[in-house]
Chains A and B, each alone.
Chain A
Amino acid sequence: MPIEVDGKTFETDEEGYLVNLNDWVPGVAEMMAKEDDLELTDDHWDIINFLREYYEEYQIAPAVRVLTKAVGKRLGKEKGNSKYLYGLFPYGPGKQACRYAGLPKPTGCV
């Protein structure tokens, strides 16, 4: 189902992932979060921004294990665990955060 942000329509696939990565604007993440009844905090944005940077550099969405390790290294050891990430993204940091970031679903994620 397409999502609408500021009068602009963004196409999504059957699982709600953005079809076109380059279309992404922060409002997309906000709209997706709103539909999940989630309010995005700076902590959420740290993860979303990290995911976008990672994709830009390596052209894939990272596996959860890779994300967890990278977050620990970049944002502090206390944040590099799945408990912290699931606390932010209850549907799964891989699936949910990647979707908000406009990335495809991580390879190997079912």
Chain B
Amino acid sequence: MSDLHTVNKSPFEKNSLESCLRLSRAGSVILLYEDAVYAALKGTAVENMITSVVGDRKVYVLGPDYKARGLDESRIIDGVEVVDYAGFVDLVDTNDKVQAWV
């Protein structure tokens, strides 16, 4: 089993995502929501934060938050999966616990 790590801060502004990636184990599940959805975007200066972990962590992005920010789903980094609110609930339910990197 694994833990669900949630990140909601912009990777450009806070080190929440960086710490989450550094301090979570392989096999962890990561959900990006609110301003953290920008980390899932291709072609940014921080793109490698996510591309370097998609092999050993499962990364999700919350669809409604991503859509609110005017970005097309085709621009999401390969290997990152979009979930809706129900999917968020399922992730909480199917993992051992939730750790929030606020």
A and B touch in the complex (CB under 8 A): no
- Residues of B with Cβ closer than 8 Å to A? none
A interface residues (Cβ-Cβ under 8 A, vs B):
none
